Amino acid sequence: MLVTPLLGLIAACSGGGSNTVPAQTSGDQPPEFGDLVSLKIDVYPTDSRENDGAVSVFRALPQTLHAMDIPLGNTLEVGIVRMRTPQEQRGSVRGFLLNPLIASVPGEQVEIDGTVFIGQPDTVQSYASTITSGAFSTWVVPSNEPYQFAVVPDDPLLPLFSQEVTLKGVLNPLVVDVDTGVPVYGQVTSPGGPLGGARVAVVDSMGHRSATATTDAQGLYLIRVHPGQYKIVCEGRDQGQDPTLRVPVTVEDPGLNWDIAYPVPLVQVLAEGRVVSERADPVPGTVVRFRSEELSGYSGVEASWTWDAPTATNGTFIARVAPGTYTIDLLPPPVEAGAQYSPARLRAVRVLDTDGEDLGSISIASSVDVVGVAQDSAGTPLASAVVDCTEIGFDRRSFFSTTNDDGVFQALLPAVPLSCVVAPPGDRNDLATGRFALDPSKELTPTFRLSGGTEIVGSVILSAAPEALALVEVRDLDNVLLGYGLTDEAGVFRLRADLEGARILQGMGTSAP
């Protein structure tokens, strides 16, 4: 008989504090309905530990707080952001290892080796700790809001375990018994017969991945989990020999027998080519990334193939992929190497010839010289403004530049769509950080004009004392960065944010105008 997993001794005493900052109102009249907004506030303290020793205690950790129902006006009064003092969370983890593997007895109680993950979704409060001989320890921020607690054993015959826990007040040791779980088992086959050496894992609804089981010579695999919703992921054999198959399943007691079949013979096509510049010069160090759109013979099956092939000194590359249709991304060397070239994307490239596909010479464009200007709303040039542009998609390379005394910046940028963040100079507290779209293939002389935006004011306190020099980032509910600043000696932060287009939950949840 299986025992229900026990997560015991979870502290439930009060005093953990709240992740919600109360609304600050002025005057006797409440704000009109629809004039309230909500924001996310991430706070990063300057010094995490009390001293520089490797075993010293944590005095502070990054925290996410939610400022709810703030009256919308020229100034958003966030109020006091109360950080909570970190505490060390210790615990022990054990399970029951069955032998024989899918029987209920006999077996033995074992102390687990693996990893513990503790985190709150959509926050900076995320922690991981190694489990050694059943023991773990990590520092966490106590909170009234639940944490997702997951145990990922190193042994796939001990079950992946996940549930919500509340960590607040005095953190008593967590005693976790993952028990036996139930088996997910079956056979991996291809038209050639059982597939030995294939790697199989399961992923739960929170994205936690079990240890990997490797099929035996008969293609058999076994992983233990607790009943719930999962995806079985079969990555095939080592060295990327096979496509990856994914299938959603519901696992119930007493377990799930699920066979995994590759529907067509497992073959690879050698795809080769050469990456060159517009002048036909070789471009070494480029990553040629193959991402399958459709694999031949896998209709109705969630199958994928990804392969990265770096170019050699002469610009040539060789990739091994399954027959099918691919999107190919050409990713130039990183910014540190000079950022001379722009990424490119080829769609619907068919790779079908089992004797090999020669894709020939593929040309990528050079980066372009962009000369732009940053101004305030009156058109006055902004000296020492910081311009940070990031590729949309591809490898998301970032490019930094600073404006000169005339507000002009110059940068070598890829000729693809970019998302640019422009921060005003430090002496212009009247301006908000701006967000701009830029496509250097169409615009080489952009003008970035910063507005006054909306002032956001609050203070950060830790243990009843102001937290000086903490970095405060204000984000909307889609996690888009709206603005950032440092607290002063009194713990006060004062920054400006451009709320246009931000999702800040006005009234019943409509977006900001």
Report the chain's C-alpha Rg in angstroms: 28
Residue 507 in any domain: the answer is: no
- CA separation, residue 245 to residues 116, 236, 267, 295, 312 (Å): 27, 8, 15, 11, 31
Report the chain's mean pLDDT, rounded to a whole number: 89
Nearest Cα neighbor of 219 from 259, 184, 264 is 259
pTM here is 0.85
CATH of the domain at 388: 2.60.40.1120
Q: Which of 227, 261, 295 is the last residue of a domain?
A: 261
Domain count, the chain: 5
**pLDDT tens digits along 426-481:** 899 899 999 999 999 999 999 999 999 999 999 999 999 999 999 999 999 899 99
Cβ-contact 498, 482 below 8 angstroms: yes
The reply to whether 506 falls in a domain is: no
Per-residue pLDDT at 508: 38
pLDDT tens by residue, 53-98 = 556 788 999 999 988 888 888 899 999 999 999 999 999 999 999 8
Nearest Cα to 168, choosing from 85, 262, 46, 246?
85
Average pLDDT on 32-52 reads 79
CATH of the domain at 140: 2.60.40
**pLDDT one-digit tens code per residue, 260-318:** 999 999 999 999 999 999 999 999 999 999 999 999 999 999 999 999 999 999 999 99
Whether 512 is in a domain gets the answer no
Range of the domain at 406: 368-452
Same-domain pairing of 217 and 205? yes
Give the other-Cβ count within 10 Å of 100's Cβ. 9
Please say if the pLDDT value at position 21 is more than 90. no
